[in-house]
Amino acid sequence: MKFLSHMRPNWNISLFHYRNQGADYGRILVGLQVPTTDNKAFKAFLDTLGYPHVEETDNPVYRLFLQSSP
Protein backbone atom coordinates (compact mmCIF):
# COMPACT_ATOMS: atom_id res chain seq x y z
CA MET A 1 0.00 0.00 0.00
CA LYS A 2 2.91 2.34 0.77
CA PHE A 3 4.19 1.91 -2.78
CA LEU A 4 0.86 2.73 -4.45
CA SER A 5 -0.06 5.63 -2.19
CA HIS A 6 3.23 7.44 -2.93
CA MET A 7 3.05 6.99 -6.72
CA ARG A 8 2.08 9.91 -8.92
CA PRO A 9 -1.12 9.39 -10.91
CA ASN A 10 0.61 9.88 -14.27
CA TRP A 11 3.11 7.05 -13.65
CA ASN A 12 2.06 3.79 -15.24
CA ILE A 13 2.74 0.30 -13.86
CA SER A 14 3.46 -1.62 -17.07
CA LEU A 15 4.78 -4.85 -15.52
CA PHE A 16 4.30 -6.49 -12.12
CA HIS A 17 5.67 -9.87 -11.03
CA TYR A 18 5.72 -11.09 -7.42
CA ARG A 19 7.41 -14.22 -6.09
CA ASN A 20 7.42 -15.55 -2.55
CA GLN A 21 8.91 -18.92 -1.69
CA GLY A 22 7.71 -19.23 1.89
CA ALA A 23 9.98 -16.55 3.37
CA ASP A 24 8.85 -13.48 5.30
CA TYR A 25 9.68 -11.35 2.24
CA GLY A 26 9.05 -11.59 -1.50
CA ARG A 27 10.83 -10.52 -4.63
CA ILE A 28 9.02 -8.12 -6.90
CA LEU A 29 9.73 -7.02 -10.45
CA VAL A 30 7.94 -3.79 -11.35
CA GLY A 31 8.09 -2.00 -14.68
CA LEU A 32 7.10 1.66 -14.53
CA GLN A 33 6.60 4.21 -17.27
CA VAL A 34 7.62 7.58 -15.85
CA PRO A 35 7.82 10.77 -17.93
CA THR A 36 11.40 11.97 -18.33
CA THR A 37 10.43 15.25 -16.69
CA ASP A 38 9.59 13.29 -13.50
CA ASN A 39 12.97 11.55 -13.15
CA LYS A 40 13.98 13.61 -10.12
CA ALA A 41 10.59 13.05 -8.44
CA PHE A 42 10.81 9.33 -9.23
CA LYS A 43 14.24 9.07 -7.57
CA ALA A 44 12.82 10.83 -4.50
CA PHE A 45 9.88 8.40 -4.56
CA LEU A 46 12.24 5.40 -4.49
CA ASP A 47 14.32 6.95 -1.70
CA THR A 48 11.18 7.68 0.34
CA LEU A 49 10.04 4.06 0.12
CA GLY A 50 13.27 2.80 1.64
CA TYR A 51 13.05 -0.55 -0.20
CA PRO A 52 16.16 -1.97 -1.84
CA HIS A 53 15.88 -1.54 -5.61
CA VAL A 54 17.92 -2.00 -8.77
CA GLU A 55 17.57 -0.11 -12.06
CA GLU A 56 17.38 -2.75 -14.82
CA THR A 57 16.70 -0.57 -17.87
CA ASP A 58 20.15 -1.25 -19.41
CA ASN A 59 20.29 -4.93 -18.41
CA PRO A 60 20.60 -7.04 -21.60
CA VAL A 61 18.49 -9.84 -20.08
CA TYR A 62 15.72 -7.31 -19.44
CA ARG A 63 15.89 -6.32 -23.11
CA LEU A 64 15.53 -9.98 -24.15
CA PHE A 65 12.57 -10.33 -21.76
CA LEU A 66 10.78 -7.44 -23.50
CA GLN A 67 11.27 -8.81 -27.02
CA SER A 68 8.24 -10.52 -28.46
CA SER A 69 8.66 -14.09 -29.63
CA PRO A 70 8.88 -14.61 -33.42
∠ Cα 37 47 1 (to 5°): 95
Per-residue pLDDT tens digits of the chain, which is 70 residues long: 888 888 999 999 988 888 777 777 778 888 899 999 999 999 999 999 888 888 888 888 877 877 754 5
The residue among 2, 6, 8, 31 whose CA lies nearest residue 18 is 31
**Phi, psi (rounded to 5 degrees) for 15:** -155, 135
CB atoms within 10 A of CB 17: 9
How far is the C-alpha of 26 from the C-alpha of 56, rounded, in Å?
Answer: 18
pTM of the model: 0.70
